[in-house]
Amino acid sequence: MPIVEKSLVEVDRKEHLEVEGIDVSGDWNTFLRSRVQTDLDVRVVDWVKGQPQGETISRCWQCGTCTAGCCMHTDYGLTDFNPRYFIYLAQVGYEEELRRYASTIWRCVSCNKCVERCPKGVKVEEVVHTIGTYLTLTGAAAESPADRFDRAYTENLLARGVLDEAALFRTYERLEGRKTPAKKLLSMGLSLLRTGRLHTGPLAHRTRGWRRMRTVLEAQLAEDERRRKGALAPATPAAGGNR
């Protein structure tokens, strides 16, 4: 295999070397410099594995079936969107390369074709989102619209135990910093009401005894948040470790 990284090749050049009257000047020994990989960091995969949605990442054997069937990669021609490659980069800890895809990774539309096809039972969609969350939490990408929607959804669900679609929409708009014109809002609301898909205000359901359940859920969410952020604390390099 040709050596393509020339910076690793060290040539021992003798400009004027004569041995027993014979000029033997030239390149004598060609060495490959020893290389210690410092840009790989297993903290990425450790963090992903430590999250409830990321634990199946270690089952992946890189067959590529997920990418071959991924609608973003194939049907929409977004060749940069490659779930197999995202998983690979996370597994080997090539964080610098992974960061290049910090925005692209959120293009997943959660169709779950990859999950259906994976021969190893990797929950690819969840793993891909977990890797995306890692990148967001470590500052590689701004918070995605999907994350903001998650926040709006959780906030509204916690409020009464079921969704109030209008309230969810308002919260999401606030988080996105945008405002839909009143006329459009009214027409959307009316058509949802007509089809019975809008439950808001007095029409919204209520969950009995929700307050106690909410306390439990809030405690769990706080615990999840601690786990996500705590595991991201910078690791202390081991004495004499790779530099």
Measured from the CB atom, the residue of 72 and 198 that comes closer to ligand SF4 is: 72
Measured from the CB atom, the residue of 37 and 62 that comes closer to ligand SF4 is: 62
Q: Which of 9, 17, 109, 235 binds ligand SF4 (CB under 6 A)?
A: 109
Q: Which of 89, 124, 152, 198 binds ligand SF4 (CB under 6 A)?
A: 124
Q: Which of 44, 45, 87, 102 binds ligand SF4 (CB under 6 A)?
A: 87
Q: Which of 44, 89, 90, 122 binds ligand SF4 (CB under 6 A)?
A: 122
Measured from the CB atom, the residue of 121 and 241 that comes closer to ligand SF4 is: 121
Q: Which stretch binds ligand SF4 (CB under 6 A): 63-71, 146-154, 206-214, 230-238?
A: 63-71
Q: Which of 48, 89, 118, 131 binds ligand SF4 (CB under 6 A)?
A: 118
Measured from the CB of residue 111, what is the shortest distance to ligand SF4 in angstroms? 4
Measured from the CB atom, the residue of 111 and 157 that comes closer to ligand SF4 is: 111
Measured from the CB atom, the residue of 64 and 189 that comes closer to ligand SF4 is: 64
As a three-state string, the secondary structure of the chain is CCCCCHHHEEEEEECCCEECCEECCEEEEEEECCCCCCCECCHHHHHHHCCCCCHHHHHCCCCCHHHHHCCCCCCCCCCCCCHHHHHHHHHHCEHHHHHHHCCHHHHCCCCCHHHHHCCCCCCHHHHHHHHHHHHHHCCCCCCCHHHHHHHHHHHHHHHHCCCCHHHHHHHHHHHHCCCCCHHHHHHHHHHHHHCCCCCCHHHCCCCCCHHHHHHHHHHHHHHHHHHHHHCCCCCCCCCCCCC
Binding residues for ligand SF4, rule: CB under 6 A, are: 60-66, 70-72, 83-84, 87, 108-114, 118, 120, 122, 124-125, 128
